[in-house]
Every structure is written in C-alpha cells, then in structure tokens.
Amino acid sequence: MLRLLKDLRHDNLNTFIGASVETPNICILNDYCSRGSLLDVIHSDVNLDHIFIASMIGDIIRGMAYLHESPVISHGNLKSSNCLVDSRWAVKISDFGLHELKANCECDPEVTQTIEHHYQQLLWKAPELLRPNSLPPNGTQKADVYSFGIILYEVLSRSEPYANTLLSYSEIINRIMNRNQSNECLRPSLDVLRESIYKDNSGRKYKIPESCIWTMRQCWSECPEERPDFKTIRNRLRPMRKGLKNNILDNMLDMMERYTTNLETIVDERTDQLVQEKKKTDALLYKMLPPSVADSLRRGQSVEAESFDAVTVFFR
C-alpha cells in the first residue's frame, strides 16, 4: 500500500513521501502545505468570497473523484482538517490509504485526548460507519460523499457542523447513529445558509442557490444509495464555478486584471471631467478680466496695477 500511495499523483492530493513504521513513534511524511488545513482557513479572518469558495470546493471534488478511480478506492476519514491548503491556495486531500498503519494510534488515549474530542472527530463520518457492523476500515465511496456534504456545509456557513445545537458531541453522534421518535436523522441546520449573503467575482451580492443546498442534502442522505458520486456532484455544482479557472491564484490574477482595467477607465473619465472643468474656468476668467490680464494669471505671472484719471464702467 505504501508503494501504491507514493505512485499517486494529482494536483489535489497531498503527495505521500514516506513513513517511519518503527514503534512506538510512527511518522508519516507528506508535502508541506504552508496555509494549514481547510479547517484553519474556515475559522480564520480570511475573506471567503465567491472565488475562494468555488475554487476550494472544486479542488476537493477533483481530488476525491481521482481518488475514487484509483486503487485506493475510498478515503474513509475525509474532513476539513484533512484538506490541506498550499501556498497557492489549492486544496490538497491528505490522510488517505493509511488506515491499517494508523489503527493503533487512533485508540491511543494520548491521541484521543478526551472522550468528547474523540466524538468531535466523528462529526464527518457517515452514519453507517458509526454503527457497529462489518464495513471496511477504509470506509466506502458513499461514506466519503457524506463527509463531503458536511465539509460543503462548513465552507458555506463558516462554522463547525452542528454549531447551532446545544447538544454535546457524544449526544450529536448518538443522534446521527439513531433516528428519533419522528424517524428523523440529525443533520446540520440549513437555516443559516439560506440567510447568508455572498459576493460573486463581479462584486454582486447573491444567496446560496437552492440547487447547492439540495445537492448538500443529497450528499448526507441517510440511505447511501441515494448519495450522488463526485462526478455528478461536480456537474450539479458547476454553476458555482461559472467564469472561473481551476486554480484560485489564476482567478485572483484575473480579478486584479479586471480591476486594473476598470481603474484605468475611471481615471480616463475623471481626466476628461477635469479638462472640461478647466475649460469652463478659463472661459469664466476671460469674461471677468481683460484678455491680457487673464493670460498673465494663467501663466502664473504677476499683474501690475494700473491707475487712470478717469474711467467708464460698462454694464451689460
């Protein structure tokens, strides 16, 4: 498996370099991503406008679509903290294909820290993976789609899943695993998304399309067979990326280019207005003063006062 992971290459997968499997210190070496994880970006002061959101979501979809078609087959532990962000703001998926290697570490109390922390790390897992059964340790593709739906909610709401509930993490996991008396499954609240206002790449304000919310709900459907695959998700969320390029840095450069062009147009318009106002000022100056005096003032020269024994003032 380690050799297989080293051969996987994709722009949206974090490259596996190697591992040290000598106990008790098992270490995994991957490419360094300077901007941390997607979880860090979501809870930072970075302005996640239309370009950031569409590019990051597109990166995750492309990476997962490639992973599902690779011999790895599925991720099994997809969450925002496992989606790393490099210096070019590209999202790279990590922590896949090493479930057997990390199995003992996940049970280590020093890694788990607390029971509630352990349950917090399960917020992205699909219900079928939480329930005691014989599902493979590396999860399933449909479970990955469920996890993507939770990440999509995080990015759009800029909050932790289930942040607006008063339940503890252990209670949330219990509610996800078991339906309530109304046969309803606990999922993140969509009210905050319907009330959110975003800006697109032209600066216009908009609300999250219902098609995006509908796709999200399908991703975290209770029935795995009802969840779409990542190719279908990419087609359904394509309107989010209308007019955008694949890389967020390219989109930023395009935006700066449009801004520069717009700024040049504004400067030209203001210059024309200034010229017109100057012409009006000159015309008014020549109406108020003799041409010789007006010419001297325009050249910045001083005008010597003249005296006359008698003058006639003409009004018109």
Residues 66 and 143 in one domain: yes
| Mean pLDDT of the 159-183 span | 84
- Final residue in a domain of this structure, among 246, 263, 294: 246
pLDDT tens sequence across 205-231: 667 878 888 999 999 999 999 999 999
Residues 67 and 163 in one domain: yes
Cis peptide before 24 (omega within 30 of 0): yes
Residues 29 and 131 in one domain: yes
Q: Which range marks the domain in which residue 36 is found?
A: 2-246
Residues 171 and 301 in one domain: no
Instruction: Specify the DSSP element, H or E, that contains 98.
Output: none
Instruction: Read off the pLDDT band of 181 (50, 70, 90).
Output: low
Higher-confidence position of 179 and 37: 37
Residue type, 201: N
Dihedral, CA atoms, 238, 242, 245, 248, nearest 10 degrees? Answer: -80
Domain count, the chain: 2
Residues 66 and 83 in one domain: yes
Are the C-beta atoms of 56 and 98 separated by less than 8 Å?
Answer: no
Q: What is the DSSP letter of 199?
A: E
Q: Nearest-5° angle of CA 41, CA 252, CA 160?
A: 20
pLDDT tens sequence across 117-152: 889 999 999 999 988 875 777 889 999 999 999 999
Residue 69, pLDDT above cutoff 80: yes
Average pLDDT, the chain: 82
pLDDT at 105: 56
Strand partners of residue 42: none
Instruction: Read off the pLDDT band of 249 (50, 70, 90).
Output: low
Residues 278 and 232 in one domain: no
Higher-confidence position of 274 and 45: 274
Distance (Å, rounded) from C-alpha 11 to C-alpha 222?
Answer: 31
Q: Give the DSSP per-residue string, 296-312.
A: HHHTT--------S---
pLDDT at 247: 59
- Final residue in a domain of this structure, among 246, 270, 305: 246
pLDDT at 242: 66
pLDDT at 312: 85
Residues 242 and 259 in one domain: no
Residue 204, pLDDT above cutoff 90: no
